[in-house]
């Protein structure tokens, strides 16, 4: 038994949905594209699972959050795929792949062949078993990666009102789930080994703002230790969590958010891997010309940083998907993916965005007591990352733009004083003048920029950076 398609997307998550929309916009014929997904539903906006989906009142439910509503685009329901002649093979796991023969074998025994394959298998949640903790099939231990997990979590939460939950892990999933548990009137204790929450991204100062906010909602934090075992009742349900330092936490439910692992297994030994993911070039193409990779599973060159990164965020999934399809369908008109890393989260009434890279020196700004604050990261004299909590759309756009421009910053005190105003001043720059004949490279432009900034201050430096960036873009287009 077998079927053949021109394009096959393996995986039916966020990236698959955005790729499908891009294929349809660029014009494919009926029956050319197929999406194979282990999940039984059409692609959806996964971030909704830890936010709207967990609300006690008027929770988000499919079909309301099918892709691509998260980017204010069309909502691709199963009907949409049918109308566009895109085959959805749902509830079907691919169990092996043969990139030489260009075939995939499903768990139902079907062979699906392709001319072009897009790997969009995302990642799976790391399980406590992988860290040597046993006895984890208890019905009140929850993970959160897909719709089935979220549905199960809702059921467990509903049986635990006014009771105790222990959240293991202080990253995105832990923080977002803890907030949802509180909203569902559950007492929450968070346990993680790091010194502060969101340790991979936040500075201690930023973390302590969020931890204080969570504490004001009743959340307790136990930091610098890990879970060592569980106590269970006769039915196998967890009744308490035992920590490495001996602390015993009574628990009616446990939520585990300890990271993810990209789903690369089908391709190991067949195509090149890097940074735990599938290595692609700036066109999202793997070491095999007929195979592309997008989303969480792809390790791609981030031009801004000059290195390969694998990102685990929805914006990168959406944009890498679009870029791969552009590269496949319009190869002559598509350059290398030029992505500005963007992460965000929303918890309680809080909302933050981050752009770029969190390396180098940090300058905090704003009013932490008023809940409008942020940070800039300066590496080798250039602004490389920016964070903002409580901003407006324009302010978030401003920090994004400032990060992309990478202006030189010499005077940290002045930067701190200007705060958000620094990023806003960049977006408010008048259109740069037409360039006179300049033969030096963008890199060379940074030299006079640096010198000028030393005397004229941060804002003037930024305006030159705007020009350098704009000029660089013009040159790239020529
Ligand atoms: C609960 C939650 C909340 C999140 N919130 C945010 C947020 O606020 N901000 C943010 O930036 N990011 C967030 N993310 C991350 C974001 O959702 C991911 O970056 C994004 O989903 C990645 O898209 P993807 O298509 O690469 O992978 P996924 O969306 O994970 O899709 C992968 C798909 O491939 C399928 N698959 C895998 N292997 C096979 C196989 N062998 N056969 C068939 N199908 C297979 C899976 O079943 C799945 O459907 C969140 C993630 C989760 C889980």
State the distance from the centre of ligand 1 to the C-alpha of 93, rounded, in angstroms. 15
Between strands 94-98 and 260-262, the pairing is: unpaired
pLDDT in tens, 194-253: 999 999 999 999 999 999 999 999 999 999 999 999 999 999 999 999 999 899 999 999
Sorting pLDDT into bands at 50, 70 and 90, what band is 427?
A: confident
| Global confidence as pTM | 0.90
For 349-477, give the CATH class. Answer: alpha beta
State the distance from the centre of ligand 1 to the C-alpha of 2, rounded, in angstroms. 27
> Per mean pLDDT, which range of 247-261, 370-384, 451-465 is the poorest?
451-465
Q: Beta partners for 49? A: none
Domain with CATH 3.50.50.60 in the chain: 2-123+261-333, 128-258
Q: Is 246 left (phi over 0), alpha (psi -120 to 50) or beta?
A: left
Q: Is 137 left (phi over 0), alpha (psi -120 to 50) or beta?
A: alpha
Q: Work out the number of other CB atoms within 10 angstroms of the CB of residue 200.
A: 11
Q: What is the pLDDT of residue 129?
A: 87
115 half-sphere exposure, CB direction, 13 A CA radius: 7
Domain with CATH 3.30.390.30 in the chain: 349-477
Q: Beta partners for 370? A: none
State the distance from the centre of ligand 1 to the C-alpha of 447, rounded, in angstroms. 42
Tell me if 440 sits within 8 A of 399, measured CB to CB.
Answer: no
CATH architecture of the domain 2-123+261-333 equals 3-Layer(bba) Sandwich (3.50)
User: How large is the average pLDDT for residues 314-335?
Assistant: 97
User: How large is the average pLDDT for residues 395-408?
Assistant: 96
Name the residue with the closest Cα to ligand 1, atom 11.
313
pLDDT in tens, 11-39: 999 999 999 999 999 999 999 999 999 99
Q: CATH fold of 128-258, please?
A: FAD/NAD(P)-binding domain (3.50.50)
| Pocket (CB within 6 angstroms of ligand 1) | 11-16, 36-39, 46-47, 49-50, 93-94, 120-123, 144-145, 172-173, 263, 266, 295-297, 312-315, 317, 343-345
Proportion of the chain above pLDDT 90, given as a percent: 86
Q: Beta partners for 248? A: 242
Q: What is the pLDDT of residue 426?
A: 83
Q: Work out the number of other CB atoms within 10 angstroms of the CB of residue 137.
A: 8
Considering the chain, what is the average pLDDT of its residues?
Answer: 90
């Amino acid at each position: 038994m077998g079927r053949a398609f021109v394009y096959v997307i393996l995986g039916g998550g966020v990236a698959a949905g955005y790729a499908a929309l891009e294929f349809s916009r660029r014009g494919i014929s009926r029956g050319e594209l197929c999406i194979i997904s282990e999940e039984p539903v059409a692609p959806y906006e996964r971030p909704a699972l830890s936010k709207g989906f967990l609300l006690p009142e008027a929770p988000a439910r499919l079909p309301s959050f099918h892709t691509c509503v998260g980017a204010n685009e069309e909502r691709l329901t199963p009907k949409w795929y049918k109308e566009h002649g895109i085959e959805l093979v749902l509830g079907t796991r691919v169990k092996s792949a043969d990139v030489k023969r260009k075939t995939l074998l499903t768990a139902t025994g079907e062979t699906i062949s392709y001319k072009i394959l897009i790997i969009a298998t995302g990642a799976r949640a790391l399980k406590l078993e992988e860290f040597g903790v046993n006895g984890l099939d208890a019905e009140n231990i929850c993970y959160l990666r897909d719709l089935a997990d979220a549905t199960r979590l809702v059921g467990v939460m509903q049986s635990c009102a006014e009771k105790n939950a222990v959240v293991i892990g202080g990253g995105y999933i832990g923080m977002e789930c803890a907030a949802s548990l509180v909203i569902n009137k559950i007492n929450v204790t968070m346990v993680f080994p790091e010194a502060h929450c969101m340790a991979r991204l936040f500075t201690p100062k930023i973390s302590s703002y969020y931890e204080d906010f969570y504490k004001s909602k009743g959340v307790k934090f136990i930091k610098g230790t890990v879970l060592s075992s569980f106590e269970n009742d006769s039915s196998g349900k967890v009744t308490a969590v035992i920590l490495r330092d001996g602390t015993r936490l009574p628990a009616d439910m446990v939520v585990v958010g300890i990271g993810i692992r990209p789903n690369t297994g089908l391709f190991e030994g067949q195509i090149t891997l890097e940074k735990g993911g599938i290595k692609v070039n700036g066109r999202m193409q793997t070491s095999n010309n007929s195979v592309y990779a997008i989303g969480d599973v792809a390790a791609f060159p981030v031009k801004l940083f000059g290195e390969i990164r694998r990102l685990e965020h929805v914006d990168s999934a959406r944009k890498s998907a679009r870029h791969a399809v552009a590269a496949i369908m319009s190869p002559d008109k598509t350059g290398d993916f030029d992505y500005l890393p963007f992460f965000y989260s929303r918890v309680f009434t809080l909302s933050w965005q981050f752009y770029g890279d969190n390396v180098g020196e940090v300058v905090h700004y704003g009013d932490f007591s008023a809940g409008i604050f942020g940070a800039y990261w300066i590496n080798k004299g250039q602004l490389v990352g920016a964070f903002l909590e409580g901003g407006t759309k324009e302010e978030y756009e401003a920090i994004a733009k400032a990060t992309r421009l990478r202006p030189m910053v010499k005077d940290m005190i002045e930067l701190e004083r200007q705060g958000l105003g620094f990023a806003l001043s960049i977006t408010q720059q008048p259109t740069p003048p037409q360039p006179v004949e300049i033969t030096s490279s963008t890199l060379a432009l940074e030299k006079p920029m640096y010198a000028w900034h030393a005397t004229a201050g941060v804002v003037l430096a930024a305006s030159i950076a705007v020009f350098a960036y704009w000029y660089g873009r013009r040159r790239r287009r020529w």
